[in-house]
């Protein structure tokens, strides 16, 4: 099935953020280029590498929000993935430039979710759409409330 159109437009003169003209949603945007090591024998990006691209988008969003995931870990929190999903539409190939769009969407007491959308930067078509769900844990591995910095990210993300 074909995805809904995605028409990003720079938001507030900040190229790190876009508003989708179709839905009105704000997304953080990161740019990345595929490596030769990302491709498989059929010359397309191997499917598991999209999870790495999601991580790149997520950590870029956090860094641009003024703190890094390392800072969160250093303060005693980790966020393992507990669920994920990806719908693929068109492949990426070696040396393709992509945009990774990321949004914080659901925030619960101990869980949170990011949504992702990857496009081919030069051609504009949607490559894949996905999500990751995470659980807040302390360094002993016990579920805890989401840390204050991450809560701040949800509350301060442009609406």
pLDDT surpassing 80 at residue 117: yes
Does 24 reside within a domain?
Answer: no
pLDDT one-digit tens code per residue, 10-29: 999 999 999 999 999 999 99
Average pLDDT, the chain: 96
Query: Taking a C-beta distance cutoff of 8 angstroms, is the pair 108, 132 a contact?
Result: no
Q: What is the pLDDT of residue 137?
A: 98
Does 123 reside within a domain?
Answer: yes
Mean pLDDT of 55-82: 94
pLDDT surpassing 80 at residue 116: yes
Does 76 reside within a domain?
Answer: yes
Domain region containing 53: 29-156
The first and second tokens of residue 140, run together, are: 């002993």
CATH code where residue 59 lies: 3.10.129.10
Does 89 reside within a domain?
Answer: yes
Write b or e for each residue in 13-48: b if 16 or more Cβ atoms lie within 10 A of its Cβ, otherwise e.
Answer: eeebbbbbeeeebbbbbbebebeeebbeeeebbeee
Does 39 reside within a domain?
Answer: yes
pLDDT surpassing 90 at residue 1: no
Total domains in the chain come to: 1
């Amino acid at each position: 099935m074909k995805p809904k159109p995605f028409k990003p437009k720079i938001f507030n003169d900040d190229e790190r953020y876009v508003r989708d003209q179709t839905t009105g949603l704000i997304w953080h945007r990161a740019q990345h280029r595929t490596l030769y090591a990302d491709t498989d024998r059929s010359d397309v990006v191997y499917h598991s590498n999209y999870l790495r691209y999601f991580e790149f988008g997520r950590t870029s969003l956090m860094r641009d929000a003024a703190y890094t995931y390392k800072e969160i870990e250093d303060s005693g929190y980790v966020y393992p993935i507990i669920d994920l999903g990806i719908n693929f539409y068109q492949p990426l190939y070696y040396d393709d430039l992509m945009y990774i769009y990321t949004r914080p969407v659901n925030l619960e007491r101990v869980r949170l979710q990011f949504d992702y959308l990857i496009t081919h930067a030069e051609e504009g078509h949607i490559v894949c759409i996905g999500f990751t769900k995470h659980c807040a844990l302390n360094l002993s591995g016990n579920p805890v409330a989401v840390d204050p910095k991450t809560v701040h990210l949800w509350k301060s993300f442009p609406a």
